[in-house]
Amino acid sequence: MGDLTEHFSRSELECRCGCGLFNAKGRLLSTLEAIRKAVGKSVHIESGCRCAEKNADVGGKPDSGHLTGEAADIWVDGLSNRDLGVVIKDLHHRRLLPHLRYCYLIKGTSRTRVHVGVDEKPRRGVFGF
């Protein structure tokens, strides 16, 4: 059980560099909870909040939602990232993720993850699967 929501803890979402940055917005937390309930399995956070230094180190965009606590890169055991993306897209189309603004697959240096964002910045390729 989490200390932020039913399923998520602060330690999962704070900056991975160890600086202690934590600024996750409630819109992101409610979106992650809705995804978790829909898939019925743990949703793992690869990357949540990021300080500017960590964001630059991982090649993040200067206006990344990770900097403002409005984005997370996620994955689920036993579910391909493409299939997770399809579930998220379906939830969004059924208006079950009211805060979700964009979602796409990202290819990291070691794995592919699903990026979900709730920030209001205009983005292209809102749902890229």
The per-residue pLDDT for range 2-61, each reduced to its tens digit, is 899 999 999 999 999 999 999 999 999 999 999 999 999 999 999 999 999 999 999 999
- Helix, strand, coil content of the chain in percent (nearest 5): 30, 20, 50
Residue 5 belongs to a domain: no
Q: What percent of the chain has pLDDT over 90?
A: 81
Angle of helix 26-39 versus helix 81-93 axis, rounded to 10: 110
Which pLDDT score is estimated for 105?
A: 86
Which pLDDT score is estimated for 110?
A: 61
Residues in the chain: 129
Residue 4 belongs to a domain: no
CATH number at residue 115: 3.30.1380.10
What is the rounded CA–CA span in Å between residue 60 and residue 50? 9
Residue 108: CB atoms within 10 A of its CB come to: 12
Mean pLDDT value across the chain: 90
Q: Which residues, at least 6 apart from 63, have a Cβ–Cβ distance to it below 8 Å?
A: 121
Which domain range does residue 15 map to? 10-128
Residue 105 belongs to a domain: yes
pLDDT bin (cut points 50, 70, 90) of residue 129 is very low
Question: Reading across the β-sheet that carries 71-75, which strands appear in turn?
Answer: 44-47, 71-75, 112-117, 102-107, 127-128
Residue 1 belongs to a domain: no
